[in-house]
A = this chain, B = another copy of it.
């Protein structure tokens, strides 16, 4: 995929971080790094490399070269590539979780929109190398990497629930939040692979999908419905929710849709069914096994 030479960014990270303990050829040490600084520098350099390429395409030599360090020095700090990979993933996880932090101010969908902007920026800059890990097909997957991923998902889940500010979130609401997080993950992974829509559109769509999922959940849970009224009252017409409502209103102008929806709401059907219309829609007949 990528060449094995250090990226310009990794080069820069190495140069700005500090000079090597043992001078690389043609370079003079500026000052000795402390043990902690060196460790942090190695993680930073590794994160740069692992963000851009799958782990099997990054070697300890690549990391040593990009850090301006020797191979034995890297091994002095980390037992091997997997340990360095996991340390850089933990760093990435902390950076990503920090991006979920958002002040409790303004309409809910605008807060989420800002968070998603920061999230997608992270995906764009760190995602390529970690995509295989998130997809579940990485050679570097381990209990350690799973723990980091779970931790980030939990941070996202907790942030969203704290913004919703609902005292006792129902199992249904928690499930909605988790499913939407999975949606955001898979959508951004697909985007990394295909880049078939502009990133700004993705940012808006993901937020609007959250609003739609929340609305669906509220339609089944009366306690949440009252909260939804309050969220909606704070939304602005040019925010994600406002634009969603306007788009849906536009949909009702498409011939047939308003008629069909009105008929369903009234308990009837817009088009005469073809074939055996006597069957119950959701029970008996075939297929669906009982729980």
Contact = CB atoms under 8 A, between A and B. Distances in A.
Interface string A39-54: 0000000000000000
Interface in A234-249: 234-242, 244-249
A197 B182 contact: no
Contacts of A250: 219
Interface residues of A, number: 109
A280 to B, nearest CB: 7
Interface in A130-149: 133-137, 141, 143, 146, 149
Given A247-B219, A260-B229, A288 B117 contact: yes
Contacts of A175: 187, 190-191, 196-197
Interface string A104-139: 011100100111111011001000000001111100
A117 B215 CA distance: 24
A248 B219 contact: yes
Interface stretch (A1-9, A74-82, A206-214): A206-214
A106 to B, nearest CB: 8
A179 B171 contact: no
Contacts of A240: 281-282
A163 B271 CA distance: 19
B232 A246 contact: no
A261 interface: yes
A275 interface: yes
A158 to B, nearest CB: 16
Contact of A232 (B174, B198, B257, B282): B257
13 contacts: A107-B281, A110-B281, A182-B186, A205-B216, A219-B247, A219-B248, A222-B254, A226-B255, A229-B254, A237-B267, A245-B264, A246-B264, A246-B265
